[in-house]
Structure 1
Amino acid sequence: MADIEISKNMAKMAVEALEDRKGEDVHVIDISEISTLADYFIIASGTNINQVQALADNVQEVLGRAGFDTKNVEGYESGKWILLDFGDIIVHVFDSENRLFYDLERIWRDGKLIDSSTL
């Protein structure tokens, strides 16, 4: 992964972009010590398909303007679970039902839950 400070800055921008569009229950999990996938997972919920897509769009726009390109996007059309892979961070935007079903916070509980205000 890249320099942890760069990853941390990307995570902070993603959280701010999610909060700007009223993303709900935004969590940041530091997985840098337990996985080679990324340094951070950011997980958020939207109330409907349109909001889930708007949350994902805003994250891509904010990080894109800062020079961070999306490496992969999955699930955009369905709007139930959108995965945005930026390499060093992975952003998951769910509708409420799928967030409960997949429960990524439980699956990645070995990571460190980070208070987003400390990013």
Structure 2
Amino acid sequence: MTDLDKRLSIIVKACDDKRAFNIKVLNISKLSSIGDYFVIASGNSAVQVSAIADAVEEKMAKAGFILIQKEGHNSSTWVLLDYGDIIVHIFKKEDRDFYNLERLWSDSDELDVNLLISQE
């Protein structure tokens, strides 16, 4: 498993552990220089969105990966966690529907989230 696979797996598992839904991993490396991957997940409430973001931060820090920047944690309707080549977007359902990043990045390749969850 590559370092990138490990980081993606940690992030996706942390989201899944907090019962995030509609988790998607998009490879945007051919489309943008802002990063290589978007991880997009949803929560049903601001409390759940915050809990998902906290879990990702905690598990990534425990594995030794540094968070570069965090945005939106105060409102908890859209939290962005920037890990350099991986950018994590955690939305409250209504905000995700409104911003529809999957449509904006529809030319990207989607990874199989189940493979990431099952990786050790």
TM beyond 0.5: yes
Q: 1:9 and 2:9 equivalent? A: no
- Which runs of no fewer than 5 residues in structure 1 stay unpaired? none
- 2: CA distance between counterparts of 1:109 and 1:9? 25
Q: Does 1:24 align with 2:21?
A: yes
> Equivalent residues in 2 for 1:25-104 (5 A)?
25-104=22-101
Whole-angstrom CA distance in 2 between matches of 1:29 and 1:9: 16
Q: How many residues align?
A: 116
> CA–CA distance in 1 between the matches of 2:61 and 2:18?
16
SS at 2:106 equivalent: coil
Structure 1 residues 47 and 53, CA, compared in 2 at 3 Å: closer, same or farther? same
RMSD, aligned CA: 1.3
1:108 aligns with 2:100: no
CA distance in 2, matches of 1:32, 1:8: 14
- Between the aligned partners of 1:61 and 1:24, the Cα distance in structure 2 is 19
Percent identity of equivalent pairs: 43
For 2:64 and 2:33, the matched residues in 1 are separated by 22
Shift of 1:41: 0.4
Give deviations 1:33-67, integer Å, cap 9, x for gaps. 22211111000000101100000000000011111
Q: Distance in 2 between matches of 1:39 and 1:64?
A: 20
Question: In structure 1, what is the Cα distance between the partners aligned to 2:115 and 2:37?
Answer: 14
Q: Any gaps of 5 or more consecutive residues in structure 2?
A: none
TM-score computed with the length of structure 2 as normaliser: 0.92
DSSP 3-state at the match of 1:77: coil
